[in-house]
Structure 1
């Protein structure tokens, strides 16, 4: 699917655009509908304004810029701008030295571009016509090329500013120099001119001109919400012992609970077993009394009544 979408974006003329749209529709009609909703005429090369000599259909330049200022974005506003200025200054100086060391008539980008076009250009069948126009046939598809107007019906030459494979084939057939037909924007003198004037180095902030406006200060930190007294935080309640905690902070041992009776108040039993404990105690005391002294009959009757 990715290849079909890229082929639509890379189409140089309307016929190729329509053919690639049909290929995508045959592959997946759902994807085709989504592409139609995105208005592909806004990002397809076939509908670019001619004369700008730019064929970019992606945001690589923006991604490259964001990657270069990655460290600067974490700084404050003024230091961020100063860091970006220094990066741009060094980049322009490096490009200026590179352009002045280059000896070719065109930029290295043109050399790489034409190297890819040479294989297809050598396979073109060229037929000459009048008014310095030619018919170039490649893979059964013919296009009209005009060296005087520097145009080709595939529109690639007019969009990118560098001869396409059809025009390159005509130039090879006529034994001309291909650099003579490259747009002046891609010539080495223009490349050097772009990087001749760079950014001027600046002095430190202490030497910057002052104004009558007040200085810009850092905003104070926002107030933090206060905790209400008497209410513990949920995190404090559920706080667990951390592994790095010192061993001196030991939790106190729990005291053993002693059971007391609710009726007599004595320890060792509760109200449920109060009657059993009382009867066993009386029996024990009676047995102790009979062993030591002699009990009178009247006293025995009174004890049995108790």
Structure 2
């Protein structure tokens, strides 16, 4: 891992890691290599891997929701509220949560220099799925397939970006449109020409247009104006897209895909060498080589990406108490189950022929009801 980071530093401008954000799991070789090669980089730990270890001792859907609510909070106020609710539910779970060091995987503690709020390593999983077929081939064929795939991807991404109409990426524009709907519910109270007090339901927040900052923390960390900031921008009759960070612009996107990988002819056209070149030694392990990724312990094998019902608390619908079913209910002898609804008879219901007597009764009942 240290060799890889050392080679990575040669192709990127800032060699000390300042301004970099690295996201990985808590493997000791990765932690040690980043600390040695990129000491000034921000090293985030994948929250999904931390939750996988944390949930071994603390199961349940409610604890899971509280965990991700703490992790995804953008400010300390929301983080402390979520942590307090988790404390009331399970105090030991909070102690174990703090031992994992929230400074490296919770959003309120992250640096806002790179304008990235990602706390999981899903990008790596996406790339692994992208090169899945190439990974099963021989080393030289695998590298050649990855090279041609990336060569084509750089061109297609650049051509797609050149067709964009506005100056902001389309996905960012879609996020701004959703936030504009919520911005209509904000009340603006100006303090200066650039400082505002925003009331949103029961919250009161401060927005600074010059510093591009909001009390909620979302604009500071992500670089995209939140609903409170959009309300103040529209109040001043400014263009919302002008307050989006440069990394989300069309110009920055084209700059990222400006490079190219030169084509390479087949091995038939390579220069011939007189020296004997031996292939690297290959050590084959027992069994068939693994192709699919390692699934979670509670992931449904028949439905990819879906979790099983493991960890969910059952409850008896009659007594309403969680943790047991009908067979183990402590009050099963005293509670009488509700009778099932009557079954509907087969066939079409018979028509009732209205006689003069029934017709007058129906008219009387309808007219007697209040208007």
Q: TM-score, length-normalised on structure 2?
A: 0.56
Task: Looking at secondary structure, tell me which structure has more helix per residue.
Answer: 1
Instruction: Give the Cα separation in 2 of the matches to 1:146 and 1:221.
Output: 60
Aligned residue number for residue 272 of structure 1: none
Pick the aligned partner of 2:111 from 38, 49, 68. Answer: 49
Q: Are 2:148 and 1:86 aligned?
A: yes
Aligned pair in 2 of structure 1 residues 16, 81: CA closer, same or farther (>3 Å)?
A: same
Given that 2:134 and 2:142 are in contact with CA atoms closer than 8 Å, whether structure 1 keeps it comes out as yes
Cross-structure match for 1:179: 241
Q: 1:216 to 1:23 in 2, by over 3 A?
A: farther
Seen in structure 2, the aligned counterparts of structure 1 residues 143 and 221 have a Cα distance that, compared at 3 Å, is: closer
Distance in 1 between the 2:283 and 2:217 partners?
59
Alignment of 1:33-48 (within 5 A): 33-48=95-110
Which structure has the larger Rg?
Answer: 1
* Alignment correspondent of 2:91: 29
Matching residue of 2:207: 145
Contact 2:102/2:109, CA 8 A, preserved across alignment? no
- Contact preservation (8 Å) 1:95, 1:195: yes
Residue equivalent to 2:137 = 75
Alpha-carbon offset, residue 214 of structure 1? 4.7
- SS of the residue 1:79 aligns to: helix
Larger mean CA deviation between 205-214 and 55-64 belongs to 205-214
**Uncovered stretches (5+) of structure 2, i.e. residues with no partner:** 1-62, 285-371
Instruction: For residue 115 of structure 1, report the CA deviation from its aligned partner.
Output: 2.3
Worse-matched range after superposition: 183-192 or 198-207: 198-207
Q: Post-superposition shift, 1:95? A: 0.8
Shift in alpha-carbon separation, 1:84–1:24, aligned structure 2, 3 A: same
Task: Indicate if the aligned counterparts of 2:70 and 2:82 stay in contact, CA closer than 8 A.
Answer: yes
Is residue 2:169 matched to residue 1:104?
A: no
CA distance in 2, matches of 1:220, 1:121: 60
Unmatched segments (≥5 aa) in structure 1: 223-306
Tell me the residue number matched to 1:123.
Answer: 185
Partner of 2:265: 203
For residue 132 of structure 2, give the secondary structure of its aligned residue in structure 1.
coil
Deviation at 1:103, TM superposition (A): 0.6
Aligned-partner Cα distance in 2 for 1:87–1:32: 45
* Aligned length, in residue pairs: 222
Q: Retained in 1: the 8 A contact 2:66–2:85?
A: yes
Q: Which residue of 1 aligns with 2:175?
A: 113
Q: Distance in 2 between matches of 1:164 and 1:83?
A: 41
Per-residue deviation, 1:90:
1.6
Aligned partners of 1:211, 1:145: CA distance in 2, in Å?
A: 67
Matches of 2:261 and 2:227, distance apart in 1: 39
In structure 2, what is the equivalent of residue 271 of structure 1? none
Provide runs of 4+ in structure 1 moved above 3 Å: 206-214, 218-222
Displacement of 1:145 after TM fit? 0.8
2:256 to 194, 198, 205: 194
**Residues 141-166 of structure 1, C-alpha deviation per residue, up to 9 Å, x if partnerless?**
11111111211122211111111111
1:162 aligned counterpart, secondary structure: coil
Pairwise CA distance, 1:131: 4.8
Is the Cα–Cα contact under 8 Å of residues 107 and 188 in structure 1 kept in the other structure? yes
